[in-house]
Structure 1
Amino acid sequence: MDLANSSLPAIKVTMADASKLLRVNNIVKSQQDNRDYRGLQLANGLKVLLISDPATDKAAAAMTVDVGHMSDPEDLPGLAHFCEHMLFLGTKKYPNENAYSTYLSENGGSSNASTYADNTKYYFDVVHNQFEGALDRFAQFFIGPLFTDSATDREINAVNSEHEKNLATDVWRIRQVNKALADSNHPYSKFGTGNEKTLSEDPKRLGINVREELLKFHEKWYSANIMCLAVYGRETLDELEAMVISRFSEIVNKNVISPRWTDHPFLPEHYATKVSIVPVKDSRTLTLTFPTGDLDQFYKAGPEAYLSHLIGHEGKGSILSELKSRGWSNSLLAGHNTLARGFGFFDIMVDLTQEGFENIDEIIKIIFQYINMLRTGGPKKWIFEEYLNLSEMQFRFKDKETALLLVSSVVHSMQLYPMEEVLTAPYLISDWRPDLIQNLMDDLVPEKCRIVVVGQKVEPICNEIEYWYGTKYRSEPISEDVIEDWKSCGLNENLSFPMPNPFIPTDFELCTGESEVKPYPVILHDTPIMRVWYKQDTEFKKPKTIMNFDFSSPMAYSDPLNCNLTHMFVQLFKDELNEYLYEAELAGLRFGVSNTSNGISLSISGYSHKQQILLSKVIDQLFNFEFCPKRFEIIKEQMHRALKNFNAEQPYQHAVYYLALILTEHAWTKQELIDAVSLVTVERLEQYIKDFLSRMHVECLIHGNVNKQKATALASIVEQKLKTTNANTLPLLSRQLLLKREYKLVNQESYRFETENEFHKSSCAELYLQCGMQSDSANVFIDLVSQILCEPCYNTLRTKEQLGYIVFCASRKANGAQGIRFIVQSAKHPVYVEERIELFLDSMTKQIEDMSDEEFNRHKDALAAQKLEKPKRLSTLFNKFLNEISLQQYHFDRAEKEVAILRNVTKTELLDYYKSNILSMGPNRSTLSIHIVSTADGGAGNSNEIESTPVINELIDRRPNTIVINDLAVFKSSKELYPMVQPYIDIQPKGAKSKL
């Protein structure tokens, strides 16, 4: 391991030195990319990518520092992660703890950061005309952080809350078991997140001042020469360059050497090992892990991409195809991960069925038989060239990223690749290196393999407990006989290389269209059984089209059984088509199908050229669908597990679920769905599919590289199938297609629903304030309230009061109604948390009253910018149109209409709205609280803390008028429903007319 040499002199860069920089102007970009790029290396060693886009709504920046949690001091696990948290809480130039977040919030921005094993990344976006101010505040993270004593003590709670959020999450638990079994002297084995014990209790016991250690860590590692910065704005490259030099040249170059770990964390004695792990959720997986070197240096050849492509293939002759034919697996993933500079892993992960769990050794043998087949056949140049062509096509026609997405992704590439290749390297490979492929295959052998088996069935044999997460596991060597069996497994006649991909498009011509293209979708075809919306793309100009078909039927969600039958239909349909569709997806032609509360939604997106072929195949299969009884049982068991596993989801996810369950007109509980699983039989499903296809309405949207003639041809594929003798589909009446509505809470009444969760130490409080029906004006007011409350809510409840890591405030619009909700996942009891939310809401009255006109207008401008932000890709615009069609509101110019109203809203009007709808004594206020109370060890419902009983009871007594919801049916039967929002354009209801 190479460590920074602290004896090297630090270099302070002056403005005079700032002119001594290197420029890179030959950055390769895709053909349709109209942005300008320039690379820089400042005199202090900071690498910079400038991105100029005169049309962007948002500006953005991201910074990576080549240090992560593997560089934590031995006696302070989690310090790198804690440092990331603390940089947000005040700098010498901007000492207020929320100065950065407030500036972004008031200017339509957002921010986040992540700590990885060997680097830390920070990023933000903001409205384009406020970029300079945001960038100035951002730069100070790396120049003059304060790390105040008060913030240090408080923010430890946030790190601890984040850790507790992960305690019952299997991905974190499994990862830490693997770390625990590595070489204990290797930094990979460290506990990277940190918690109260590592950052407070242990340091106090050892006499360590955490703030001083933070300063030392930042001083040692936050050096300009191991940082990379990407900035994206409307300004010219020269203007962006000047902005960067004036702010980031102050970062000191300490001549740090980025840590690199050439020794692998798993030593030869760790090979040929089987690890059994007990998960929280009822999941079953098998993972084969092969230690490798760092392959990033071979990025132009991509040997790991070649092998991942083949081992992870899902077509005929693949590992997955063979495992599914035996009923042992539903999915397989394969890929290489360079976890940190110097070493990596090649992983093959198999999802196991019940039968597959009993045949793990045979599954592993099949995997090695496939690898033997690859080794025997040798690297195939045609496969490499096909993969290369697909990658080139993807890069050539790639969609434009948002400003934030581009800077946060490219800044990582800047650490790995030459500046001129930062855009191309993640996509393009060019060097045919069969020797590198062969070398990597030499690592994929039984004697170097580590096996990880995850499943609740292994609990009886697990005799060890991982320290940080309490995960039960067992580690044991694999017998030499088993290793020899895998080594001599030979070949399998059912396994083969894939055939050439027939879906690779060759026609990238753009359609000629009408002389005048409408700005919004128009109805191309309308009958009682099918309505077709169509919009030709004139903005993105790519050879891509997206289409969606909603097959609506009141049967789909009429009761829990039918809901489950619809789910089974969809899952079996996807399962049956998987091999056929996989090659299409590799070629950039994606198919999706999902069950909805109205029926089944089917979509096809990607390159236009061969979509008609795919659609014909899919629709033909849909209306002539037959399924395998063995796969039926596997999918049924998978559905049952998924429903049960919801219990182990995060408490805030439960709060969101229960709110929707209580307020939505027709909604089935998870338990009702679980109870109905036993009623799902082969015979019932066969009959259900026939009935479903016999009566329905299809609503279609086609948008992209398509004209009226092609759109009509695509839609007719579906319509003709609806009219065939086999299907003989009849139309539905329009009143059979009415959308679900929302229950109306009574003004000046409060409702509370409480339930328990045994999986997580954290509880959750959700407070929802219902504010009436949706309309342009109502939407504007609730969104503006949310805009103003969002940052102070986070600052008050999370940063200052440290109630929990997850603090959320946003408007909610569903089923024609709207309101605002507050979610706090906390170690505190939900009753206490709700009281803190209420006190916050009351305190905001004065803050709004005292708000200057300038600040109020900034909030309005930020909200307007958010609403008017232009979609960057076809799919974003498509989803915007599809949402309006699905809501049956057809308000395609919603953003423009709402912003016109927003411009005229006065502070007095907003304050009146706030006092009436949000303030605790408001005449129009109505609330629904969801309390998820933890009964886990140490949870709020199982705590001996003094405040957990008397104080909670006192807080409950303060709200004597709160109505407790104990019975869902009783609650719903006592409430009226809001009417549906009427369409914004004059359009007949879909389906056949209902006659009086």
Structure 2
Amino acid sequence: MSSPQYARQPPGRSSPAPPRTPPSSAGGQDVVERYENIVKSQEDKRDYRGLLLANRLKVLLVSDPTTDKSAAALDVNVGYLSDPDELPGLAHFCEHMLFLGTEKYPEENEYNKYLSEHGGSSNASTSSDHTTYYFDVLPAHLHGALDIFAQFFISPLFTESATGRELSAVNSEHEKNTSSDTWRLDQLNKSTASPTHPFHKFGTGNRETLETIPKAKGINVRDELLKFHDKWYSSNIMTLVVLGKESLDELEAMVVPLFRQVEDASVAAPWWGEHPFPPALRRKRVCCVPVKDLRSLSIDFPIPDTRKHYKSGPGHYLSHLLGHEGPGSLLSALKAKGWCNSLVGGTRIGARGFGFFGVQVDLTEDGVEHIDDIVKLVFQYISMVRSVGPQRWVWEEQRDLMAMEFRFKDAQEPRSLVTSHVHLLQEFPMEDVLSAYYLMSEWRPELIDELLAYLVPENVRVGTVAKCFSEKCTQTERWYGTKYLQEDIEPEKIKEWTAASPGPELHMPPPNEFIPTRLDLETSDDPTLDGTAPAIIKDSPLMRLWFKRDNEFFLPKAVITLDLVSPLAYSDPLSCNLTSVWVLLLRDGLQQFAYAAELAGLRWSLGNAKYGLSITIDGYDDKQNVLLEKIVDHLVNFKCDPQRFQIMKENHIRAIKNFEAEQPYQHAVYQQALCLSDVVWTRCQLMDAAETMTPEMLDEYASRMIRRVHIEGLMYGNITRERAMRIADTIENKLPKNATPLLAQQLLLHREVELEKGTEYLRETENSVHKSSCASLYYACGVRTSRQNVALELLAQALSEPCFNILRTKEQLGYIVFSGVRRANGAQGLRVIVQSDRHPAHVERRIEAFLHGALEYLENMSEEEFLKHRAALAAQRLEKPKRMASRASQMWTEITSQMYNFDRPRVEVEQLNTITKQELIQFYKTHVWKESESRQKLSVHVVSTADGGAGTKRELEDDEAGRDGPTVSTPPPD
């Protein structure tokens, strides 16, 4: 729930007050101000209204009569920087506790149970200066969900029993993060800040900070939770966004009576004008040792909070230049020297009042040996930008691209919309809350110069992450145990960087040639406008193309997806490795050309899977063919660069090794796939083969693969049949003249291993990185059919909330508790995953105990409750995609699975609506119940052998002594 915040910098405050209208009788004196002039895109069909309630709670109402989900989010303008010094993690702990009962709704699972029964979900997050709560639910049940939700902020219980239990969840969440480099590096940055600044704090909290130390000091943590909530959970620093089907007047009438009850304690939201890295902590180097084999360089400059300048965007201007990837860019120069894989540059906000401008570089092996040279090159580029001065044409190009994005942006999912805009309500005038990210209207070059003045060697902090620093890193970070060393940068080096001047390889980017010039909607008639199914418009020996014109979103955009299917791609471990490295080199070689397309709203991806390669282009349709043809040219005419090959080969091998440090639940998922897939290469097999790869081998492999390929494609959106055919013909003509079509037998899909009925299989593996262990239980439910699909989904829907409530909330087995459907290769089943500090054998027993009790739960379920679950699932299945890319993905899944059921939601909901409670119980008895003679079960245990892990304790002996019945153990070979 609590997480490091490394997001794109949001724009900031503005002083002009929006026009106000007097309150109407509908809201009485509860509504002080009403805002009707919120700037929105001309393509946006939703209606918006802002409210300021009498208790100073700011509200944004969103009316969308077409929505199939309603949603709400509430943000409190306070986070872990406001924790009491003696109680690190209290804000985060408070966030957890609000889910566990209120005076009006005292049951701990009342909220989640209500949402689960009505097709909803919820979550929350705590950051440095915000705490955000959000949910979505079926539209008919918005009022009921809001009623429960509002009580979080009016009368939470903070019961003694729940406080004690939920502390285990907070501690488990922290334990999950202790071996994550993202969390470790985030905390190291904070721990090396000024110890007198709140930024220095440890935000997640754990058992030590929230139980052991407070108990020793005589601090009652529950009392402190109540004090924290009373002090900071004040309506005057809260914002609320609610989206529903109802009209704006109806939403207002629903929301105001519920949230006017939140108390206004007249507290001021904290503001930290002093930077956590004062001059004495600048001109520093920090090197540290990661858990994974990572190599990165961060060059950071402390800056003020720039959000108030959102209408001119000085941070956006400099981010665009330093993060550019085209010709003349910093990245281009670094890659030419073989020092860098990728680069990100830009501003980020630390909290209200201060921020950072940073350049993060993903280093090659050689790059680690040239840290100071890379920093010098960064200052050379900054010197070039400074000498050229702010360029109005660059700013105008960015302004126009952002305005175009705002006009034609995809509709956000309801939950995404409320969670993103509830933060913006804290920062912007109400009329700008939708547009502030996008609409720049003030050219102010002096602000660019002011920000540029901070980007000097005197202000720099240089951080380097690499395994090779293990001997020199003699300091230990307090909370995560990260080994690091902080030292001064030599004055001579500061002088050298100050004198850095640019060479000819560094220059401003050229004008963007990918900016679309045609944004019209196609008007020609097409039979695929009707219905849901795409049509095959090309079916040659080498290529089959599916096509559908958009009749839903009416935007000047399209999606093109091509799969280049080849049996060579996964024929053996060496071929699998070669395919992966080929894709890395293709992406690397295309990046400089394709970056301009990305900036102009053309997203592209090039990936690989078992069947071969995939290319996807999504965005404005105007110049998609130019980008696609370039990608295919690069692929067909590939020639391996030996220097870049060695870099990408090393990256690939490192990625395979780094999987060892992934979370235990990810290992469980991987081990399950090893057991169930008909063809799969293990990491050990891939590692052995990867070492043998050479540039010559890759050249020969790529040439052979592109001559034995079948292209399966889909073109969907604002595109005519004729244009789609022209693009397809062009692509096919680019293939080698001696390309040979694949045989039908070579286009068959992979399959799943069928588990023997009436048996249980166990695969056990060890993990030495994380203290947590994991148990994953899979109950196979056969091959996919329409009725089996919805029966399984209905069972998962009915068991999801009680599973979480019992295993996580009540038994506190671990922070990660998941139950749901697993589907792969045409087969499916029910899966339960729990990541825990307990031994997997114990966890499995508790999961089985829960599932055994599920029979009684299902049998005692009232018909009304059963119908609620069925209706909730039906509504979820019929939920329409909000983006063109999501609709394309639905069609593409049917094509690549070779099922071709393009009307699946309607067909399967018809089946769902005929399933009875008795049929659901019988489905459970057949596939999940322990007494079933036809049950097919696979357990995966990931046992921690790290210091303090479950594999180092005696708990296993105790658990095994109490195990119910024998287990058949048949782990497949590695």
Structure 2-normalised TM-score? Answer: 0.96
Deviation at 1:717, TM superposition (A): 1.4
For 2:351 and 2:550, the matched residues in 1 are separated by: 43
| Equivalent pair of 1:38/1:51 in contact (CA under 8 Å) | yes
Which of residues 534, 542, 555 in structure 2 aligns to 1:542?
555
Deviation at 1:950, TM superposition (A): 2.7
**Which residue is 1:984 aligned to?**
none
Tell me, in whole angstroms, the C-alpha distance in 2 between the residues paired with 1:842 and 1:411: 42
Q: Counterpart of 2:852? A: 842
Shift of 1:964: 1.4
User: Which residue identity does 1:585 align to in structure 2?
Assistant: E
Correspondence for 1:677: 690
Partners in 2 of 1:951 and 1:621 — Cα distance? 60
Q: What's the CA shift for 1:77?
A: 0.4
CA displacement at 1:271 relative to structure 2: 0.5
Residue aligning to 2:17? none
CA contact (8 A) 1:24 1:40 kept: yes
Q: Deviations over 1:742-764 (max 9, x none)?
A: 00001110000000001101000
Query: What is the distance in 2 between the residues matched to 1:428 and 1:941?
Result: 56
2:76 aligned to which of 30, 51, 65: 65
Q: What's the offset of the Cα at 1:815?
A: 0.7
The letter of the residue matching 1:385 is: E
Q: Which SS does the other structure have where 2:869 is aligned? A: helix
Q: Provide the rounded CA distance (Å) in 1 between the counterparts of 2:26 and 2:268.
A: 24
2:592 paired residue number:
579
> 1:407 matched to which residue of 2?
418
What is the distance in 2 between the residues matched to 1:53 and 1:158? 37
Which residue number corresponds to residue 952 of structure 1? 959
List aligned pairs for 1:133-282, cutoff 5 A.
133-282=144-293
Partner in structure 2 of residue 763 of structure 1: 773
Please state whether the residue corresponding to 1:964 is helix, strand or coil.
Answer: coil
The secondary structure found in structure 2 opposite 1:21 is strand
Instruction: Work out whether 1:656 is the aligned partner of 2:675.
Output: no
Whether contact under 8 Å (2:675, 2:972) holds in the other structure is no
Q: Of 573, 595, 608, which aligns to 1:595?
A: 608
Shift in CA distance, 738/515, structure 1 to aligned 2, threshold 3 Å: closer
Instruction: State the match for 1:470 in structure 2.
Output: 481
1:426-450 Cα deviation digits (max 9, x unpaired): 1221211111100111000011000
State the 1:480 CA deviation: 0.2
Aligned residues between the structures: 948
Residue pair 1:224, 1:253 contacting (<8 A) in 2 also: yes
Q: In the aligned structure 1, how far is the partner of 2:489 from the partner of 2:315?
A: 26
Secondary structure of 2:470 counterpart: helix
Give me the whole-angstrom Cα distance separating, in 2, the residues matched to 1:598 and 1:69: 47
2:505 to 472, 494, 499: 494
How do residues 390-429 of structure 1 correspond to structure 2 at under 5 angstroms? 390-429=401-440
Partner of 1:559: 572
Query: For residues 24 and 671 of structure 1, what CA distance do their matches in structure 2 show?
Result: 61
Q: Residue 344 of structure 1 corresponds to which residue in structure 2?
A: 355
8 Å contact 2:526–2:549 — kept in the other structure? no
Q: Which of 327, 330, 340 is 1:316 aligned to? A: 327
Change (3 A) 1:18 1:790: farther
Give the aligned partner of residue 339 of structure 2.
Answer: 328
Secondary structure at the counterpart of residue 436 of structure 2 = coil
Contact 1:662 1:968 in 2 (8 A): no
Cross-structure match for 1:972: none
- Give the residue type in structure 1 aligned to 2:970: I
C-alpha contact 1:918 1:925 (8 A) present in aligned 2: yes
Structure 1 letter corresponding to 2:362: D
1:968 maps onto 2:973 in alignment: yes
What pairs with 1:812-891 in structure 2 (closer than 5 Å)?
812-891=822-901
Opposite residue 645 of structure 1, the aligned amino acid is N
Residues 682 and 440 of structure 1: CA distance in aligned 2, closer, same or farther (over 3 Å): same
| Per-residue deviation, residues 640-665 of structure 1 (Å, max 9, x unmatched) | 10010000000000101111111001
Kindly indicate whether the alpha-carbon contact (under 8 Å) linking 1:300 and 1:425 is maintained by their aligned counterparts in 2: yes
Identical aligned pairs, as a percentage? 52
In the alignment, the residues of structure 2 paired with residue 819 and residue 968 of structure 1 have an alpha-carbon distance, to the nearest angstrom, of 23
Q: CA deviation at 1:514?
A: 2.1
Contact 1:15–1:246 (Cα < 8 Å) also in 2 = no
Aligned to 2:447: 436
Q: 2: distance between equivalents of 1:275 and 1:173? A: 14
User: TM-score scaled to structure 1, two decimals?
Assistant: 0.94
Counterparts of 1:667-706 in structure 2, within 5 Å, are 667-706=680-719
Matches within 5 A, 1:771-850: 771-850=781-860
Equivalent in the alignment of 2:659: 646
Amino acid paired to 2:965: R
Paired residue secondary structure (1:460): coil
Q: Is the 8 A contact 1:291 1:344 kept in 2?
A: yes
Report SS of the residue matched to 1:546.
strand
Q: Distance in 2 between matches of 1:215 and 1:937?
A: 36
Q: Of residues 666, 669, 678 in structure 2, which corresponds to 1:665?
A: 678
1:114 aligns with 2:120: no
Q: Take 2:796 and 2:27, find their aligned partners in 1: how far apart are those partners?
A: 46
* 1:527 maps to which of 523, 526, 540: 540
CA deviation profile, 1:280-317 (whole Å, cap 9, x unmatched): 00000000110010111111111110000000000010
Partner SS state of residue 471, structure 2: helix
Match 2:741 to one of 700, 708, 731: 731
How many angstroms does 1:719 deviate by?
1.3
Q: Per-residue displacement from partner, 1:261-284 (whole Å, max 9, x unpaired)?
A: 111111111010000110000000
Cα shift readout 1:541-562 (whole Å, capped 9, x = no counterpart): 0000111110001000000100
Instruction: Classify the secondary structure of the residue corresponding to 1:656.
Output: helix
Deviations 1:859-893 (A, max 9, x none): 00010011000111101100000011010111111
| Contact 1:167–1:173, Cα closer than 8 Å, also in 2 | yes
Q: Kindly indicate whether the alpha-carbon contact (under 8 Å) linking 2:97 and 2:163 is maintained by their aligned counterparts in 1.
A: yes
Aligned residue identity for 1:663: L
CA 596–950 in structure 1, closer or farther in 2 if over 3 Å, else same? closer
Structure 2 letter corresponding to 1:800:
K
Q: Deviations over 1:879-934 (max 9, x none)?
A: 00001101011111111111101111111111111112111111221100010000
> Any conservation in 1 of the 2:675–2:971 contact (CA below 8 Å)?
no
Deviation (angstroms), 1:955:
3.8
> Does 429-438 or 797-806 show the bigger shift?
429-438
Which of the numbers 313, 317, 320 marks the counterpart of 1:306? 317
Please state how far the C-alpha of 1:602 moved relative to its aligned partner.
0.9
Q: Which amino acid counterpart does residue 351 of structure 2 have in structure 1?
A: A
1:101 Cα deviation from its structure 2 partner: 0.2
Q: How big is the shift at 1:489?
A: 1.2
Does structure 2 retain, via aligned residues, the 8 Å contact 1:78–1:198? yes
Deviations along 1:78-99, one digit per CA (max 9) or x if unpaired, are 0000000000000111000000
Amino acid at match of 2:886: T
* Distance in 1 between residues matched to 2:704 and 2:360, nearest whole Å: 38
Stretches of structure 2 that go unaligned for 5 or more consecutive residues are: 1-24
Q: Which amino acid aligns with 1:863?
A: L
**Counterpart-to-counterpart distance in 2, 1:847 and 1:275:** 56
State the 1:953 CA deviation. Answer: 2.2
- Counterparts of 1:486 and 1:529, CA distance in 2: 56
Aligned residue in 2 for 1:919: 929
Q: CA RMSD in A?
A: 1.2
Indicate which of 351, 363, 366 corresponds to 1:355. Answer: 366
Counterpart of 2:864, as a letter, is: E
Provide the C-alpha distance between the structure 2 equivalents of 1:475 and 1:19, rounded to a whole number of angstroms: 54
Q: How far 1:838 sits from its partner (Å)?
A: 0.3
Determine the C-alpha separation between the residues in 1 that align with 2:908 and 2:189.
52
Deviations 1:755-808 (CA, angstroms, capped at 9, x unpaired):
000110100000000011110011111100000000000000000000000000
Give 1:839 deviation, angstroms.
0.3
Contact 2:272–2:353 at 8 Å: present in 1 too? yes
Q: 1:949 to 1:700 in 2, by over 3 A?
A: closer
Kept in 2: contact 1:18–1:249 (CA 8 A): no
Which runs of no fewer than 5 residues in structure 1 stay unpaired? 1-13, 970-996
Deviation of the 1:527 alpha carbon: 1.8
Letter in 1 for 2:47: D
